[in-house]
Amino acid sequence: MLRRALTARALLALAVAALTGACASTGGIPRPFPAPQGGPVQGPSGPGPQAAIPPSSIVDDYALVGTALSLRGVPYRNGGDSPDGFDCSGFTRYVYARHGVALPREVRDQFERGKPVKPDDLEAGDLLFFTTVAPGPTHVAIAIGGDQFVHAPSSTGVVRVERLSTRYWATRYLGARRVMKP
């Protein structure tokens, strides 16, 4: 029953994100990292509106997934950590920062954050880790619910949604972490 409710919540989040999110292909550019204490946000064209960071210690998984999905289509860029281009850990770091959570820059360091999550307990917003080019965690993504995740893969060149159950990702899956606000 809980799993069905979580899946329904994730689908609702996807629908809201699709209807309200700024897609990179439409020219909408999410503002970069919020400043502490809700100060001005610096964007590509200078200061933007004040960033509201929820006071809760729990990350709003629906808002976080909405932010991640709004970045679909942004090109892959090695070392990228902005809407101009992302690599995998730059993408997760950027998305979490938009919701008041500072993540380390490197995949291996992000793997050390949060608490481990069993595969049957995955929720939207959890960080998913894979081994792709070397032993240990070398790729990171954000769970969006059900069997899907969003990430910045280098193979296709843009932020996109994929299924965890595909053979490529299922055989490379290392684990997941749930990150809370400090």
Q: Does residue 36 fall inside a structural domain?
A: no
Q: Does residue 45 fall inside a structural domain?
A: no
CB atoms within 10 A of CB 97: 18
Q: What is the pTM of this model?
A: 0.69
- Among 18-22, 103-107, 140-144, 150-154, name the one with the lowest average pLDDT: 18-22
**In which domain, by residue range, is 95 found?**
2-29+56-178
Q: Does residue 43 fall inside a structural domain?
A: no
Catalytic residue annotation: 88, 139, 151
Q: Quick check: 180 pLDDT over 90?
A: no
For residue 86, the Cα-to-chain-centroid distance in whole angstroms is 11
Higher pLDDT, 26 or 81: 81
In CATH, what number is assigned to the domain containing residue 161? 3.90.1720.10
Q: Does residue 118 fall inside a structural domain?
A: yes
Q: Does residue 48 fall inside a structural domain?
A: no
Domain count for the chain = 1
Q: Quick check: 102 pLDDT over 90?
A: yes
Q: Sorting pLDDT into bands at 50, 70 and 90, what band is 57? A: low
User: In the 3-class helix/strand/coil scheme, how is the chain assigned residue by residue?
Assistant: CHHHHHHHHHHHHHHHHHHHCCCHHHCCCCCCCCCHHHCEEEECCEEEEECCCCCCCCCCHHHHHHHHHHCCCCEECCCCEECCEECHHHHHHHHHHCCCCCCCCCHHHHHCCCEEECHHHCCCCCEEEECCCCCCCCEEEEEEECCEEEECCCCCCECEEEECCCHHHHHHEEEEEECCCC
